[in-house]
Each structure stands twice: as structure tokens, then as C-alpha cells.
Amino acid sequence: MTGFTLYPEHLDRAAQAELADAVLRAEAAAPRYRPVTPGGKAMSVRMTSFGPLGWVTDAAGYRYEPLHPLTGQPWPPIPPVLLEIWATLADAGTPPDACLVNFYDADSRMGLHQDRDEADFSAPVLSVSLGDTALFRIGGTDRRDPTRSVRLASGDVCVLAGAARLAFHGVDRILAGSSRLLPGGGRINLTLRRARAR
């Protein structure tokens, strides 16, 4: 789809390890948790966030909040390496104010969805993969549009901009054991976005 760009192996092994360490250290201040949808269903991923705002979901709906829902504390800052990647690849003119951190184990999935909780869709969404490879699915802006599958390996970065900004996308499955980056395996997906209006 126009606007979807994949940058394979954008981060080398050393940079992946450094970023993974930063993410895992930040859990001390913002522990990962399992969100529950407004319909009461627990998501299969565990998550946390970085930056001024973090994405949350509960009975009140999907939204961005400045505080971790369990600790009541502000989210940790976005690691500088992620801001550098955004400046290099997103070219958005405005820095991201939210970074969603999703932790996938071998059984985690993410159904097809659009990222529509932001105030301004003109800013792109940028995604960084660490750890096990994911089978990522992307379609069009209508749920009935054809989809295609893309493998996202550790160190890969992809950007959804322009027509792809509101494309339906999700994760079909995780290829367990495909990476040795993370202790105990699994995948971390870091998704940078602009939640507030620019």
C-alpha cells in the first residue's frame, strides 16, 4: 500500500541490544500490564508506554493518558535512539509524544485494527521490532480490502504514512525462537506516534 515503508535491519545487533536493555530497565518505573478492552476482553499482549502520553484501554474506552494506569506515575521518557529514528525516517516536523510498548509472547496476536485514537492523522506511525519475528498483516482503509503478510524481524522499522496511516493492520503470529535478543524470547514492538494535535 502507498505510504507503507519497510526499513529492514535498520538497527544493527548492537543497537537492538542497547534499545532492548533500555526498554527492560524502564519497566521498573512503568511495569508491563495486560490491558482490557472496553468490552471486557483481556488483550493477548502486555504493554506499557514511553513519553508524555501513553495509550490505555479499559471500560471507559480507548484513549491517551499522562499516567500509568497501575502506578499512577508519569510514563518514562522516550529513549533518544527512538527519537533519532523518528527524525530520520518519519520526517514529520513534530516529535512523537507517545511510544506504545507491546510485549508479545509465542501466543500473542493483534487483530486487524486502525490507529484512530490520535488527534491528527497527518503524522505517521513508526514501528520498531525487537526480538522474535512477527507475521505482520496490512490491508487498506476498509476492513474488507485485501491484505498482505510481511515478516518483521528484529531491528526492522516500518512507517505508516499518507494513505497507509489509517490502513488496517495486525499481527497474525510470532515465530517463537527466531531471535535470541530478549531474555526468555518474545517480541517487543515500539510504536511511535503523535497523539496530540500538531
In a domain, 198, yes or no: no
With respect to residue 134, please indicate whether it lies within any of the assigned structural domains.
Answer: yes
d(CA 196, CA 198): 6
The 10s digit of each residue's pLDDT in 119-161 is 989 999 999 999 999 999 999 999 999 999 999 999 999 999 9
pLDDT, one tens digit per residue, over 17-74 is: 999 999 999 988 999 999 999 999 999 999 999 999 999 999 999 999 999 999 999 9
pLDDT score recorded for residue 120 = 85
Contacts of residue 39, Cβ cutoff 8 Å, sequence gap at least 6: none
CA-to-CA distance for 163 and 140, rounded, in angstroms? 8
Is 124 within the bounds of a domain? Answer: yes
Mean pLDDT value across residues 174-194: 97
- As for how many domains the chain has, the answer is 1
| pLDDT, average across residues 99-105 | 98
Q: What is the CATH number of the domain that holds 143?
A: 2.60.120.590
The rounded percent of the chain whose pLDDT value lies above 70 is: 99
Which residue's C-alpha cell is 510498548? 101
- What is the number of residues in the chain? 198
Q: Confirm whether 141 is domain-assigned.
A: yes
The pLDDT value recorded for residue 140 is 96
Expressed as residue numbers, the domain containing 93 is 4-193
Question: Across the chain, where does the E strand assignment appear?
Answer: 4-7, 46-50, 54-58, 61-65, 98-104, 110-113, 125-131, 133-138, 148-152, 157-160, 169-175, 187-193
Q: Give domain status of residue 167, yes or no.
A: yes
The pTM of the whole model exceeds 0.75: yes
Residue 43 buriedness (CB in 10 A; 0-12 / 13-18 / 19+)? middle
Q: What pLDDT was estimated at residue 93?
A: 83
Cα three-residue angle 172-178-181, rounded to 5 degrees: 115
In angstroms, the CA 72 to CA 24 distance is 19
- Assigned domain for 178 exists: yes
CA nearest to 188, candidates 139, 155, 151: 155
- Confidence at 91, pLDDT banded by 50, 70, 90: confident
Mean of pLDDT values over 74-94: 93
